[in-house]
Amino acid sequence: MVGTRGHRTRSPGGDEGSAAAEFVMVGALLTVLTLAVLQLGIALLVRNTVLDAAAEGARHAALADSGLGEGAARTRELITATIGPAYATDVEATFGDYGGFPSVQVRVVAPLPLLALFGVDRGLEVVGHAAVETLD
């Protein structure tokens, strides 16, 4: 709007200064979304790592010259080496039946990471299976 002497005057309902406010709001939203995606990635990494360790422990326990204790120990060792000892506290190996075949089942209950690697205690439970090997 041009005044009487050719000077620009500000209109009362203008949007001057709104770019900075919009930048802050959009930046905060994008930061939150990025952190949420990263946290989902961490949770999936922990889940897949614990599941793989449980399956490897079950395969180790299912060998003809191995036992349940050795499979659980192998699972604890793998979890401790990859993501830390806090995730390897509740590991249990048992004999069972899976798909109609005798199998070893290794069950791991671990924390579910919700904020970095901290989260809900006992929030993640996975079971690894392996067919029992015999010398028949």
Written as one string, the DSSP assignment of the chain is -B-TTS-B---TT--TTHHHHHHHHHHHHHHHHHHHHHHHHHHHHHHHHHHHHHHHHHHHHTSTT--HHHHHHHHHHHHHHHT-GGGSSEEEEEEEEETTEEEEEEEEEEEEEEETTEEEEEEEEEEEEEEPP---
Predicted pLDDT at 117? 76
* Tokens, residue 125: 């439970």
The phi and psi torsions of 56 (rounded to 5 degrees) equal -65, -40
Tens digit of each residue's pLDDT (9 = 90 or more) over 20-42: 889 999 999 999 999 999 999 99
Q: Which residue has the higher pLDDT, 8 or 114?
A: 114
CA distances from residue 6 to 9, 15, 113, 120, 134 in whole angstroms, order as listed: 9, 21, 63, 66, 97
pTM (2 decimals)?
Answer: 0.80
Tens digit of each residue's pLDDT (9 = 90 or more) over 44-96: 999 999 999 999 999 999 998 889 999 999 999 999 999 999 999 999 999 99
